[in-house]
Structure 1
């Protein structure tokens, strides 16, 4: 996989599959803040091995990341990815040949001899990919923001 947009789509699909297979949301913590419950009353997670403050924070964190919210977040991120296709617009400058790139409102110019500039992926997609920097298909520095 070489394209950052395809990489992001694949990661989002993996997470969607997990969210869709999880207990139904929205999730909520019980009165004691030691369990996270699905809407059907099934215990999603228990925080019993944690200290009081950590337990409450952990169960609230888990409840906040219920499947419905995860899917909505993935849909929003996927919409951002779809807004950012690479588009190369060639321009001629009397001094040097240059390329101008535009991507969902971002625009930048790269001179043909400026090898230190990476025209695509745009910074927006590189920022979205940072979350998956440890994935074996991530391109590391090439995709760093």
Structure 2
């Protein structure tokens, strides 16, 4: 996997998949009806949704004919190259992952 956006989407999906497990291990009020009042699963999911929104906002720019440009839709005007600094910063927590590429370092 060489695209940072795809890499981040996969990492966020993994974190979403384990949100309930993290909750079950850390919450003193394990409830099986999904209505725990500790708020932790919801906070994690909101955080992941915010990161996905940033990822979507800072997507790769494309020409009308569908060809991807080597720039970010948001940062492209400042001549930033793809992947943009925002995505590189979002990737920092995953620098130890086997799929992380050093060229993504911010």
* TM-score, scaled to structure 1: 0.54
Give the direction of change, closer, same or farther, for the CA distance of 1:20–1:123 in structure 2 (3 Å limit). same
SS at match of 2:78: strand
Deviations 1:78-97 (A, max 9, x none): 111011122267xxxxxxxx
Tell me how far apart the structure 2 counterparts of residues 68 and 39 of structure 1 sit (CA, whole Å): 14
Matched, 1:103 2:73: yes
More contact order relative to length (CA 8 Å, sep ≥ 6): 2
The match for 2:66 is: none
- Distance of 2:29 and 2:42 partners within structure 1: 11
User: Residue 34 of structure 2 aligns with which residue?
Assistant: none
For 1:100 and 1:11, the matched residues in 2 are separated by 23
Deviations 1:20-54, CA, capped at 9 Å, x for gaps:
34546xx7xxxxxxxx42363xxxxxxxxxxxxxx
Give the total of aligned pairs: 94
Distance 1:23 1:15 in 2: 12
Instruction: Name the structure with the higher helix share.
Output: 2
Q: Which residue of 1 aligns with 2:53?
A: 79
Verify the 8 A CA contact 1:100 1:109 in the aligned structure 2: no
1:109, distance to aligned residue in structure 2 (A): 2.8
Q: Which runs of 4+ in 1 moved over 6 A?
A: none
Greater strand content:
1
Look up the match of 1:115.
Answer: none
Are residues 100 and 6 of structure 1, via their aligned partners in 2, closer, same or farther at CA, if it must alter by over 3 Å?
closer
| Secondary structure at the counterpart of residue 46 of structure 2 | helix
Distance 1:86 1:23 in 2: 34
Instruction: Show structure 2 runs of 5+ residues with no match.
Output: 32-37, 64-68
TM-score by length of 2: 0.72
| Aligned-residue CA RMSD (Å) | 2.8
